[in-house]
């Protein structure tokens, strides 16, 4: 199912940061969102995630679809006593039957499989706060994979990572697109742009053509 943005505008503190954005995001494809810092990329992702309401316009094609959002930084405090596996397991919470349900065997296998796909399964018992920034980022992507989402939204998932870690993330995002997910990635990474199926380029909150 295609996600369609129709004349979407958005504001922060009375200042318009997105200007009448119309675009289509295809299932089974990776769409990158590019532009300079302050161009409105993260705001566009927040609108898609339902974290920021547009001032005008609408987004169609998200109703009833499972969504996973990977921010630039984890909301988990560094000193909070949780392991990497605990953080990845949060991706299964929306699928639990009720608030206090425990993860079953399938949930646990899916969490470990997601960590393994990002080459961080050996780190599963370690405190999340003790991991490097790149390791935390891969655990957050594993959390999104564990969600089995129809739509994956990622805000610069490879920033600060070494080449091997970046390639691992690229590989899992391509695999998610191939299984039919809609993948939307804010990025400055030239490799991500080259790998993408489509590109939205923002300048000062306006959608403009970009040279590929």
d(CA 82, CA 102): 16
Section 112-129 average pLDDT: 95
Order of strands, edge to edge, in the sheet holding 29-34?
67-70, 151-155, 182-186, 29-34, 198-203, 206-208
- Please determine, for residue 175, whether its predicted confidence score (pLDDT) is greater than 80: yes
Provide the residue ranges of all domains of the chain, joining segments of one domain with +. 1-65+151-157+176-212, 72-149
DSSP 124: T
Average pLDDT, the chain: 90
- Tell me the pLDDT tens digit for each residue of 63-86: 989 999 998 766 566 667 899 999
- Please determine, for residue 162, whether its predicted confidence score (pLDDT) is greater than 90: no
- Tell me the pLDDT tens digit for each residue of 4-59: 999 999 998 888 999 999 999 999 999 999 999 989 999 999 999 999 999 999 99
Phi-psi group of 13: left, alpha or beta (phi > 0 → left; psi -120 to 50 → alpha; rest → beta): left
15 CB contacts (<8 Å, ≥6 apart)?
A: none
What's the fold here for domain 1-65+151-157+176-212?
Answer: Rossmann fold (3.40.50)
178 — phi, psi (to 5°)?
Answer: -65, -25
């Amino acid at each position: 199912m295609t996600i369609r943005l129709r004349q979407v505008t958005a504001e922060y503190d009375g200042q318009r940061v997105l200007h009448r954005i119309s675009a289509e995001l295809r299932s089974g494809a990776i769409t990158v969102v590019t532009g300079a810092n302050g161009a409105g990329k993260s705001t566009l992702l927040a609108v898609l995630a339902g974290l920021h309401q547009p001032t005008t316009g609408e987004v169609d094609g998200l109703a009833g679809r499972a969504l996973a959002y990977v921010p630039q930084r984890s909301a988990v405090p560094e000193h909070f006593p949780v392991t990497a596996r605990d953080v990845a397991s949060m991706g299964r919470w929306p699928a639990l039957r009720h608030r206090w349900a425990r993860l079953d065997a399938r949930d646990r296998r899916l969490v470990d499989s997601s960590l393994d796909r990002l080459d961080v399964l050996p780190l599963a018992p370690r405190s999340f706060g003790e991991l490097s920034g790149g390791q935390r980022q891969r655990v957050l992507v594993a959390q999104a994979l564990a969600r089995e989402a129809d739509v994956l939204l990622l805000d610069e998932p490879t920033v600060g990572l070494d080449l091997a870690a970046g390639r691992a993330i690229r590989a899992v995002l391509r695999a998610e697109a191939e299984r039919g997910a809609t993948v939307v990635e804010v990025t400055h990474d030239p490799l991500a742009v080259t790998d993408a199926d489509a590109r939205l380029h923002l300048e000062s909150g306006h959608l403009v053509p970009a040279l590929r």
